[in-house]
């Protein structure tokens, strides 16, 4: 019988990676799964919107990343940085990230509640699981 493999919470892994990578650039941005209260000027939300188990030890979640700003230019600048950081994630040791593939480039959205601008893009991230103990 095959050994059971458990995968880390991909949303938490990716949000933590982005928080750390943005802070390392001297640009700390609140990053998580919910819109913060009170709303900061800029923030990032990450959600799993699908994906599949790629093989025995690799999960390949599809993540939707939203970058909010007080202005359209501010949101565009943030998604540009976050998108670039996505491709630096392979090899990050907060979890074993093998690969990142963009599956949806940046697109401008407007928050229906506040009319504030945000950009969204989608990635698939290959993350290694571990033996369930």
**According to the model, what pLDDT value does residue 75 have?**
98
CB-count exposure of residue 32 (10 Å: 0-12, 13-18, 19+): middle
CA angle 105, 116, 68 (to 5 degrees): 45
16-69 confidence digits (pLDDT tens)? 999 999 999 999 999 999 999 999 999 999 999 999 999 999 999 999 999 999
Where are the domains positioned within the chain?
Answer: 5-131
Tell me the pTM. 0.92
What's the topology of domain 5-131?
STM4215-like (3.30.2000)
CA-based nearest residue to 44, from 80, 87, 9, 10? 80
In the predicted structure, residue 118 carries a pLDDT above the cut 90: yes
């Amino acid at each position: 019988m095959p050994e059971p493999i458990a995968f880390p919470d991909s949303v938490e892994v990716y949000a933590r990676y982005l928080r750390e990578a943005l802070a390392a650039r001297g640009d700390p941005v609140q990053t998580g799964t919910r819109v913060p209260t009170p709303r900061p000027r800029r923030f990032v939300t990450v959600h799993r919107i699908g994906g599949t188990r790629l093989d025995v030890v690799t999960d390949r979640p599809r993540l939707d990343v939203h970058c909010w700003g007080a202005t359209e230019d501010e949101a565009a600048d943030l998604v540009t940085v976050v998108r670039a950081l996505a491709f630096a994630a392979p090899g990050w040791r907060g979890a074993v990230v093998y690969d990142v593939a963009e599956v949806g480039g940046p697109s401008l959205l407007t928050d229906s509640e506040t009319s504030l601008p945000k950009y969204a893009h989608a990635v698939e991230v290959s993350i290694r699981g571990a033996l369930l103990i």
